[in-house]
Amino acid sequence: MSQRQFSANLGFLWKELTLPDAIRAARAAGFDAVECHWPYDTSVAQTQQALAETGLKMLGLNTVRGAAGENGLSALPGREADARVAIDQALGYAQAIGAGAVHVMAGFAHGQAAHETFVANLRYAADQAPNLTILIEPLNRHDAPGYFLTTTDQARAIIAETGRLNVKLMFDCYHVGRMEGDITTRFADLLPVIGHVQFASVPDRAAPDQGELNYAHIFAEISRLGYGAPLGAEYKPGGPTEQTLGWMQSLRA
């Protein structure tokens, strides 16, 4: 049986390094892929060079958050023009570096107008880049109170409403664990719409070898269900990243 693959989320891991050096650190640590949040302060050429040098693929990146306190633009009524500039920026960067996905951040909003705005912007993103996966991610209400997208059921309904096959769910075990629990049952139910998986301990968002979730069991079930793409380590190291990677060997099997 092939070993399980892991992606380093460089929004949390090796935050003290530049993006190119964080990519190199992830390769040295044994990760199989990388992903990031907002790479836009790093030139495409620098990111391309680090990816080529290490042989790693950048799985995905996020649209920008917008102004302070917005946490995304795509569900904000009246901000459609800004949201689409952010989408175009993310799609362009992703395509230039060979990334496979863009997470379109919704922002702090609520109500039917926000819902309609988000669906319209997701359709725009999906149509602009049919070769990419457009991801949406529910964020838990403890960490992001007021965020528009909070549950996997809400995400699934939005995905269906877009009518676009390349709009998928970012299944973050941490956020699902904080909001809904029942991780493996939720994963199995949502598998047809899942485009990427992330993980961290619950409730403190630390390395996955602590907290209340049994990731050996969760990952075994994910594999049993046939999901074989790299799983994204998006946790807060609480110290030098290299000192928090003891979980990798045991959870690869």
Return all residues near 199 (Cβ < 8 A) that are at least 6 apart: 172, 173, 174, 208, 215, 218, 231, 232, 233, 234, 235
Q: Catalytic site residue 221?
A: no
Note down the domain range covering 118: 6-210+218-252
Cα gap 233→31, rounded to integer Å: 10
Take residue 142 and report the two structure tokens written for it: 């403890």
The pLDDT value given to residue 86: 98
Is the pLDDT at 1 greater than 80, yes or no?
Answer: no
Q: How many domains in the chain? A: 1
pLDDT band at 74 (very low <50, low <70, confident <90, very high): very high
Backbone angles phi, psi at 106, to 5 degrees: -80, -50
pLDDT band at 68 (very low <50, low <70, confident <90, very high): confident
Mean pLDDT (the chain) is 97
The pLDDT value given to residue 253: 82
Helix (H) / strand (E) containing 197? strand 194-199
Q: Catalytic site residue 53?
A: no
For the ranges 20-24, 131-135, 248-252, the lowest mean pLDDT is seen at 248-252
Cα gap 173→117, rounded to integer Å: 27
What is each CA distance from 110 to 76, 84, 118, 146, in whole angstroms?
9, 19, 11, 8
24 domain-assigned: yes
Mean pLDDT on 178-191: 97
1 domain-assigned: no
Backbone angles phi, psi at 172, to 5 degrees: -95, 110
Query: Alpha-carbon torsion 64, 66, 72, 78, what sign?
Result: negative
The pLDDT value given to residue 5: 98
Full-model pTM: 0.97
193 domain-assigned: yes
113 domain-assigned: yes
Question: Among the options 180, 221, 234, 242, which is catalytic?
Answer: 234
Cβ atoms of residues 237 and 12 within 8 Å: yes
Enumerate the H helices of 78-206 as residue ranges: 80-97, 112-128, 152-162, 173-179, 183-190
pLDDT in tens, 116-173: 999 999 999 999 999 999 999 999 999 999 999 999 999 999 999 999 999 999 999 9
153 domain-assigned: yes
pLDDT in tens, 48-64: 999 999 999 999 999 99
The answer for 107, left when phi > 0, alpha when psi is -120 to 50, beta otherwise, is left
pLDDT in tens, 80-122: 999 999 999 999 999 999 999 999 999 999 999 999 999 999 9
Amino acid at 155: A
Question: Among the options 137, 161, 180, 221, which is catalytic?
Answer: 137
Q: What is the CATH number of the domain that holds 36?
A: 3.20.20.150
202 domain-assigned: yes
Cβ atoms of residues 224 and 188 within 8 Å: no
Burial class (CB in 10 A: 0-12, 13-18, 19+), 207: buried
Rg of the chain on CA atoms, in Å: 17
The pLDDT value given to residue 2: 73
pLDDT in tens, 185-229: 999 999 999 999 999 999 999 999 999 999 999 999 999 999 999
59 domain-assigned: yes
141 domain-assigned: yes
DSSP string, 209-251: TSSS--HHHHHHHHHHTT--SPEEE----SS-GGGG-THHHHH
